[in-house]
Structure 1
Amino acid sequence: MSERIPRTLLLFSSLCIFYVTVTQAVKEKTQQQPKFLCFAVGHILSQLDFVQTLEPNAEYKFQFDDDEIFNVDIEHKETRWRLPQFGQLASFVAAGALQDINILKVNLGKFEKMSNYTKAKSVFQGDIHVFAEKPLVLGEPNSLICLANHFFPPVIKMRWLRNNQPVTDGVSETDYYTNEDIFFSKFLYLVTIPSEGDVYACSVEHDGLSINPTNKLWIPEVPNLVSETSENIVCGLGLAYGIAGIVVGIALIFKGKKNTNQTRNR
């Protein structure tokens, strides 16, 4: 096992390492949480590999906390680093991942028979979030991000719509992310130039959703300069009235004192 883990990754100190293996056929039957191999600490280095009868039928990856380090392209038999810099610090031979995946596929067939081919229950307990990568400026390029989280199994369809029309240019996606409760998340990206009047939607389909597809809207919000100007005017008037009130109050105080002194002198 240690020969297949990047040497540099083994040098991380104070890590709680756990191993998660998921097969769709037995998830609903067992309902077991992954078992930690040590006490929880500040950071977690996790290995995730799963096989299932649906697409994608297999995935193999390493994560540091909630961030992906690398995954293995099962079809092309190659390691894909989340950032190129990671590949300069460590190495991983994809053949080791393929060997583990083949073992899991054999076990999947056995568990399917044991469960009488009972399908796992589809669950979507999370939400769909859409947001821009940077502050909006109309007419300038920006990246929209759609996040679907906390669903099972890892089978989901996500796509972008612009003014109710499918968008394919500038679209990219991640593989599946997971956490300790064996639920999954996925990101979908869109590089676009927002314009006034546009309506974007991230359309998500999953068997666990009550409505398929579920569309999460994102509408470019134009800064309301008129409203801000009005607010500034109101604040300015309020300040002016306040100052005037103070001046009048001081004048009345001095006038009152003057009248009092004149009365005493008489």
Structure 2
Amino acid sequence: MPPPPGGILWETLGDIRTLLSLPAAFTLQVAHPAVGAGVGDHSVFRTDPWGRGERSLRSMLTWVYGGTAAAEEGRRLREVHESIHGTDAHGRPYHALDPPTYAWVHATGFPVARRSHRFLNRRPFTRAEEDRMYAEWRQVGRVLGIHDADMPPNVDAFWPYYRRVVRDELELTAVAAELVDVHALVPPPDRGPRALRRVLRVLWPVLWPPAARFRRFLTIGLMPPDAREALGLPWSDRQERRLRRFGRATATVVPLLPARLRYLPQARRATG
């Protein structure tokens, strides 16, 4: 069953600020060599980044707000990943459903959400909130078919597990490097009204470079510092101050928005 209504995930995941943290979580996932190889070999994130992102977001929101559909989505994801296997950049075989690999993809959401909340909501979670959030995130793991034995049982056990993976396994894989490369080509959005898509196609050479720099800034900035250092991604005190200023502005403006703009559609429908 998904986490309960009124829980921390229920209150926070559907906020539009979640969109700002997703690139950091995705990059942290693909920094694992097996995950990076699987995404590089099998994903359409290069050819259809907007569609891929939309589907991933819809899936993630279903885990929390989908009710009975959450379990169905978890089964669907496992079926999709059943055929994803190959050899990573070091010549080691991988399978997307290998328990440590599949569990790492899920685990990354917790540290990124924790850091993002600190900056984008202008306060860190309390220890009690962290405990509740991790328990709910672990419940989401069960929805995805991850066994309890493959997930740390609580926050105190999570951090040693997380630090070990960061220290011993993560690297700047080809896909992770691509996600923070401001020169990587991304096509313009192919969703929305036709007239808007035409305008974006014309303006994209001007719009994308600053957007790419902003994406890199948020991806590296909202990544936990130890993971950022393990990947060799540069980050300065000046950038940290910029992130704090951006977070203050975001934390001030977003709560003032009407619900139809502040919350993502699935969350808005579920919460009424």
Give TM-score scaled by structure 1 length: 0.25
Give TM-score scaled by structure 2 length: 0.25
Structure of higher CA gyration radius: 1
Higher share of residues assigned helix: 2
Higher share of residues assigned strand: 1
Q: Which has the higher contact order (CA 8 A, sep 6+)?
A: 2
